[in-house]
Structure 1
Amino acid sequence: MSLGAMGHLSDRVRSASYEHPRSTPFAPRTETDWNPTPALRRALIVVIVALGLGLILGRVDLLLVSMPLALGLAASLTRRPRRSPELRLLGMPETPLLEGGELRAEIEVSNPDEVEIVAVARPRVSQWIRLSHGGFRQAAVVPADGHASLPLTAVTRRWGLHRFGPIEVRALACDGLLRSRQLSVAKQTLTVYPRAALFDSRQSLPRAAGLAGVHHTRRPGDGGELAEVRRFQPGDRLRSIDWRVSLRQRELHVNATYSERDADVLILLDVLSEVGQPGQASSLDVTVRAAAAIAEHYTSQGDRVAMAEFGSKNRRLRAGGGRRHYALVQDWLTHVDPSRGEIRAAAERQLVSRKLPGSAAIIMLTPLLDPRSTSGLARLAQTGRPLVAVDTLPPGVRPTQQREWTQLAFRLWHLERDNTLNRLRALGVPVERWMGPGSLDHMLRQVALLDHVPKLARR
């Protein structure tokens, strides 16, 4: 009988701590038939043919040649196994991995029989998981009434949900003349979080309207930026008195400051298309890693970050802050997938609907390859919300197929794309390429300046 279903494996393979490795239980031992291998069939054919010809033709030499082979087969098959081995999957991680993270696990093969066997494992994994042994079969000798381990070491190459398994295991016995039926570990899903790109920003967000934070506002309150020096009023704190000015004016004066508050940030991901060069990060990779970096930066300093997709699924993640919310952001990003269907008209209208917080700074990560992305940015700009567009098209992207008119068409496409970027800037949408640390500072400074200029907004 086959041991195909061997217990309940976790739906999500998790990483990190290996201090307490988890073992996956499998079904109890059962009696299993052992089948002859092709080597046994070939050896039997040679022995039967040689013996038959030797007897029929009276050839003693054929009998002498076939006898050692026949005796060897008989000796090997004298002790044949009666039970199939048992499997246990050990050391599976319990939290999601990061890109480039290492997975260390092992398959423990237990031999309940009194005959030594050889276990051969063949793991089948996603193309984005690189096994240390290159995906080839692994073998280990399992002693009688003992056990052996087959190590599984892999490195994750990309974020997302990846297939891990099934892992097929066969056992060989009697010098490779018998093999057990195929045992397998069921296919699992490995969750890999995107590794946040390097990012830092010293520019305050416009329209910070929270209670307390790090962003400078133009509202009076407790903060570090000086607003004015004014006369002392009832309720002013004594520590805010400017004694130098008070002595000169012979009247108490205090230093009034601007308040520092937290802000709302909406990170909008354009998932309408994905392009890139083989072996390099695609536009979607740049978008997801940049989103993880921006979310990590703002959630760590107390701001509220919300996520949204611009695509056929139209997924959203509510606003929140802190480490716990950033973990939710990472999990949300692992499910990002390029849109395969058409965008509903309701999804486009939702971009400019009142569901978007009016004070939130909107950061749209887009390769600017789809006309719907450009029109969506233009409609967002007309709402009067603080808006920044980050170009996530990887540098050096070129057509994969080269023909007679490819270079000319590529140059025309570049000119058209430059015109699109200039039209967006004319509408008041700062557009800059993603460059890591400091990528948003210049654009946020422009947004802060434009925020004080009167403008028409669509109602």
Structure 2
Amino acid sequence: MTRDYVWRATPALARSLLLPALLAVTGLALGRADLVLLGVPLAVGTALALGTAAERRARRPPPEVRAIGPRILDAGRSVPVAVRLGPSDAQLVATVLPPAEAGGDADSVAVAAPADGERQLVVEVTAPRWGAQQLARPDHLAAAADGLLVAGPVAGPPYTAQVLPAVAPALPPGPLPPRPAGMVGAHRTRRPGEGTELHDVSPFQPGDRMRRIDWRVTARQAGPRETLYTRHTLVDADADVVCCLDNRYDLPADVAAWLDLGEHAERPGRTSIDVAVDTVASVAAAYIDHGDRVGILDLARPLDPVHLGSGRRHLLRLRTHLARHTRRPGSGDALPAPRHAPRLPPGAIVVVTSVFLDDAPGTLAVTWRRRGHPVVAVDVLPSPLVLDAADAATTLAARLVLAERQERIRALEAAGVPVSAADPAALGLGLARLRLLARGVRR
């Protein structure tokens, strides 16, 4: 134990020493033995308590209080976090418990320090936002000698966890690109080959596999011209998906706070980047669950993408990257979007998340659409917007900005890029619309 605990006397110790002395002096001065005897139990009790405390300090270490819990957890999901108290020379330890929600008010509790072994105080903690979050710091105060001596308060070691973005359940699978590159997957194509969807039944030809022979159809053709018939199937393919994250703006639902973002380290409530990161994580999980390959392109840092991959470990890698590397710009800190649309894998599905306050993300989405990529845009501006706290000038400016934003969204839809809201129901409909558009292109 490296922390230096300094035991100090409390006012109770001063009273327990002064009162017997005062009674003894008064009893001797007045010749009253009862006053002297009245102070004897206090003096004996104080001596025993101090002696016991000295013996405990000689045999046991100072108090060790720390918070333990999972190092990686999901946003919005409750996890048990324990405050662990080790054996020490203290009799009583008062400690701060983790708040039920990260950033909330914490409660304190006083417990008897364990003589042997350890004691744990378990609390369910929820982290509402992704990123590195300090979930607990068990500051504590130790007491000994029946409360006559105290040490602290001592700042406990902080417990920090990496909170991953939440994943919305039950998102439908997205469309298959017009030219799927994969040879395995959960999507049905129109390309003949090894798969599960029946294409046709035709006479056996050189090169057909014996296990593909349809014996029922062959048996119906019994006779002098008996012919073997084989079943042909359509290839089950996977898709390449690139989720483009526009994190150049971080806007809350309160319009009056848009101009003050540079002055506050902590954004009020849920912001557009929170919505965008959760949307990207949910879309990635929906596609990866169907065996597709997913990557991430940060429009503020287009040279540092997360390359395509599949599987549960890749999904964990994507969510960890989002939680650790997604930046939150302040007021006047918006980085320029790339002037030219980055090259994406041929036929990859593109999901663009943005607040569409300028033309850059819409221009990139239309460019990718013209290159033959299925593209869906997701509006991540928090809703409903709050204009009550803004003054008249701010309200007028906000209405003009929102009107221009709405025109950009209409232009995107006119160019063949469906625009969806970020909630799971609307996003599911947006993926369904994109699936219909992709089928129309293949026809």
TM class by shorter chain equals 0.7 to 0.9
| CA deviation after TM superposition for structure 1 residue 264, in Å | 0.9
| CA deviation after TM superposition for structure 1 residue 321, in Å | 0.9
1:118 matched to 2:95? The reply is no
Q: Show structure 2 runs of 5+ residues with no match.
A: 255-267
Paired residue secondary structure (1:421): helix
- After superposition, residues 37-436 of structure 1 pair within 5 angstroms as 37=10, 40=13, 43=15, 72=42, 75-76=45-46, 78-80=48-50, 81-82=53-54, 83=57, 85-87=62-64, 89=66, 92-93=69-70, 96-97=73-74, 99-112=76-89, 117-122=91-96, 128=102, 134-142=105-113, 145-146=115-116, 149-158=119-128, 159-206=130-177, 207-225=179-197, 233-236=205-208, 239=213, 243=217, 257-277=233-253, 281-311=270-300, 315-335=304-324, 336-340=326-330, 348-349=338-339, 352-354=341-343, 356-399=344-387, 401-405=389-393, 408-436=396-424
Whether the aligned pair in 1 keeps the contact of 2:72 and 2:163 (CA below 8 Å) is no
Equivalent position amino acid for 1:308 in 2: L
CA distance, structure 1, for counterparts of residue 382 and residue 93 of structure 2: 46
Alpha-carbon distance change, 221 to 313 in structure 1, aligned in 2, over 3 angstroms: closer
Equivalent position amino acid for 2:125 in 1: V
CA distance, structure 1, for counterparts of residue 313 and residue 431 of structure 2: 26
Q: Show structure 1 runs of 5+ residues with no match.
A: 5-29, 454-459
More displaced 10-residue stretch of structure 1: 215-224 or 257-266: 215-224
Deviations 1:211-255 (A, max 9, x none): 1112233323234556567676433455369949x97xx988766
Paired residue secondary structure (2:139): strand
CA distance, structure 1, for counterparts of residue 361 and residue 11 of structure 2: 60
CA distance, structure 1, for counterparts of residue 307 and residue 43 of structure 2: 69
Equivalent position amino acid for 1:283 in 2: S
Alpha-carbon distance change, 93 to 407 in structure 1, aligned in 2, over 3 angstroms: closer
CA distance, structure 2, for counterparts of residue 447 and residue 69 of structure 1: 93
Whether the aligned pair in 2 keeps the contact of 1:307 and 1:318 (CA below 8 Å) is yes
Alpha-carbon distance change, 77 to 307 in structure 1, aligned in 2, over 3 angstroms: farther
CA distance, structure 2, for counterparts of residue 175 and residue 65 of structure 1: 24
| CA deviation after TM superposition for structure 1 residue 123, in Å | 5.1
Whether the aligned pair in 2 keeps the contact of 1:267 and 1:308 (CA below 8 Å) is yes
Paired residue secondary structure (1:332): helix
Alpha-carbon distance change, 366 to 182 in structure 1, aligned in 2, over 3 angstroms: same
In structure 1, the partner of 2:261 is none
Whether the aligned pair in 1 keeps the contact of 2:98 and 2:123 (CA below 8 Å) is no
In structure 1, the partner of 2:258 is none
CA distance, structure 2, for counterparts of residue 212 and residue 194 of structure 1: 29
Equivalent position amino acid for 2:241 in 1: V
Whether the aligned pair in 2 keeps the contact of 1:90 and 1:108 (CA below 8 Å) is no
Structure with bigger helix share is: 2
In structure 2, the partner of 1:441 is 431
The TM-score with structure 1 as length reference comes to: 0.72
CA distance, structure 2, for counterparts of residue 90 and residue 99 of structure 1: 20
Equivalent position amino acid for 1:121 in 2: T
CA distance, structure 2, for counterparts of residue 382 and residue 412 of structure 1: 30
Paired residue secondary structure (2:176): coil
| CA deviation after TM superposition for structure 1 residue 190, in Å | 0.8
CA distance, structure 2, for counterparts of residue 411 and residue 365 of structure 1: 22
CA distance, structure 2, for counterparts of residue 138 and residue 442 of structure 1: 53
CA distance, structure 1, for counterparts of residue 42 and residue 302 of structure 2: 65
CA distance, structure 2, for counterparts of residue 239 and residue 230 of structure 1: 10
CA distance, structure 2, for counterparts of residue 309 and residue 70 of structure 1: 77
| CA deviation after TM superposition for structure 1 residue 140, in Å | 0.8
Equivalent position amino acid for 2:386 in 1: R
Whether the aligned pair in 2 keeps the contact of 1:165 and 1:187 (CA below 8 Å) is yes
Whether the aligned pair in 2 keeps the contact of 1:312 and 1:339 (CA below 8 Å) is no
Paired residue secondary structure (1:439): helix
Equivalent position amino acid for 1:317 in 2: V
Equivalent position amino acid for 2:8 in 1: N
Whether the aligned pair in 2 keeps the contact of 1:230 and 1:255 (CA below 8 Å) is yes
Paired residue secondary structure (1:110): coil
RMSD: 4.2
CA distance, structure 1, for counterparts of residue 117 and residue 39 of structure 2: 31
CA distance, structure 2, for counterparts of residue 96 and residue 66 of structure 1: 64
Alpha-carbon distance change, 163 to 90 in structure 1, aligned in 2, over 3 angstroms: closer
Percent of aligned pairs sharing the same letter? 27
Whether the aligned pair in 1 keeps the contact of 2:201 and 2:230 (CA below 8 Å) is yes
Whether the aligned pair in 2 keeps the contact of 1:267 and 1:307 (CA below 8 Å) is yes
Whether the aligned pair in 1 keeps the contact of 2:203 and 2:229 (CA below 8 Å) is yes
Whether the aligned pair in 1 keeps the contact of 2:100 and 2:126 (CA below 8 Å) is no
